[in-house]
Amino acid sequence: MAEQLTYTSAIELDKKDSLAPFRNEFYLNNSHIYLDGNSLGLLSKRAEKTLITLLESWKTFGIDGWTEGDHPWFYLSESLGDQIAPLVGAKAEEVIVTGSTTTNLHQLIATFYNPSEGRTKILADELNFPSDIYALQSQIKQKGLDFHEHLIKVKSRDGHTLDEKDIIAAMTEDIALILLPSILYRSGQIVDMKRLTHEAHKRNIIIGFDLCHSIGSIPHELSEWGVDFAFWCNYKHLNGGPGAVGGLYVNEKHFGISPGLAGWFSSSKEKQFDMEHILSPAHDAGAFQIGTPHVLSVAPLIGSLELFSEAGIENIRIKSLQLTRFMKDLIEQEIGDAHFIFRNPDEDHRRGGHLYIEHPEAARICKALKDKGVIPDFRSPNGIRLAPVALYNSFEDVWNSVQILKEIMENQTYKNYENKRGVIA
C-alpha cells in the first residue's frame, strides 16, 4: 500500500467514479451491503421493466407474441446473442442465448468430443466447478469409455490456482478436447485463454472455456483468440435473475457442423416450420439451441444488457480492479493480524472480479457478516468470496464492509455461530 486508506479515500474514489450513476439503476437494500454478485446479481429496474414488457406481450398478443411486439419471441435468442457478443469479443452470429450452463456444456461436448484412435481423452482441471466435471464424466460414459481413464485433470500446485505451463504440458497426443474455466471460482484467477488456445491449436486440439465467472466482469476476445467454443450463465455478473437462461459461443469456423444434441430450435429459421423429419441446422450458433426459448426467464436479461452496453465492459473492468484492490489493501491495513489468506493472484491481469480469502472460521465469519448486513459467499471448507460489483457497489460499501469485518474479528462475535455452512452456501 502506498498510503493509509481512510473513509475519506473511499468517498473521494466514489466522487471520481464515472459508473456511480448506474448504482441507481438497481434495487439495493439500504440495510445491507451486497457482495455476492458473483453468485447472483441484483435486480435492475430495467430488467424488471423488460420482464413486465414480455408478460404484457403474452397478455396482448397471445401466440402472435412469437412475431409481434417489441421483442418477438421467435428471434429473441438471436437478438440477445447480438447484445452479448461484444462482452465476449465475438461476432453476433457466433453467440446464442439458450439453455442452462450445464445443458449448453452437454451440447458442446456432445458436438465437439469425437474420440478417435489415439485421441480419446478430455483435459480439464481439478479446481473446476463440480457440475462441469459431472457433465464431462457423463459425456465420456456416453461414448462407452471409462472417465477414470479418459478424463485428465490438471493438478494445481497450491490448491487454488493453475499454472498455464502445467496445462500446456498436459496437452499430449491422446487429448481430443480441452475444457477449462476462464476464471477459477476458488481463487479468482484469470487463466490465459489466448495462450492456451494457441497452444491447443498447435497440437490440433479443440478447446473451450466456461465463462460463468468472467462474463460481465472482464473483457474477452474469443473470436480473435480463435477459441472453439464457450458457454456461461447469465445470472451472476450479468444480473439476468435466478434461473436465467444461459448462453454459448461457437467460432464461425465450425458453422455447418451438426449439433450433438439436435432439437426443434436447432433448425434454420427459414425451415423450422416446414416440419421435416430431416434437420436443416441453422448456419450460425443458433444450430446449438435445443428447445423453445424460455421467454419469461430470459426477459430480464434484455434490460440488464442495456446497462452493459451503456457502461462499457472496459470501464466495468477498470472499476472492478479498483474495487478489489481497495478491498484487499483495506483488509490488510485494518485487520492484517486476523490470519486471513488471500488466494487471488495479486497481478491485475490475472485477478477476476471477486476476492477469495481463507480463514479457519470462515463459515462462522460469513454468518456473522450476514447478521451485520454484509452479504458474502462461503465456499467449503474455509473460503470467503467477496465480490464488489462495478455497476452497483461503491468504494464506501467496501469501506463499511471491511469495518464490519474488523469489528467481528476484534470482538470475536463470529464465535457465537456454528462453524458449519448452511443449506445454501
Q: Which residue has the cell 464506501?
A: 396
**Pair 97, 77: CB distance under 8 Å:** yes
Element (H, E) at 8: helix 7-15
- CA neighbor of 206 nearest in space, from 286, 313, 297, 115: 115
401 known ligand binder: no
17 known ligand binder: no
Q: Which three cell numbers stand for residue 150?
A: 479418459
- CA neighbor of 302 nearest in space, from 92, 57, 90, 80: 80
292 known ligand binder: yes
115 known ligand binder: no
**DSSP assigned state of 193:** H
Rg for the chain (alpha carbons), in Å? 22
339 known ligand binder: no
Distance CA 200, CA 196 (A): 6
66 known ligand binder: no
- CA neighbor of 367 nearest in space, from 317, 420, 321: 420
**DSSP assigned state of 20:** G
130 known ligand binder: yes
132 known ligand binder: yes
101 known ligand binder: yes
Distance CA 410, CA 406 (A): 6
235 known ligand binder: yes
Strand partners, 229: 208, 250
Binding positions are: 101-102, 129-132, 210, 213, 235, 264, 292
Binding positions for pyridoxal 5'-phosphate are: 101-102, 129-132, 210, 213, 235, 264, 292
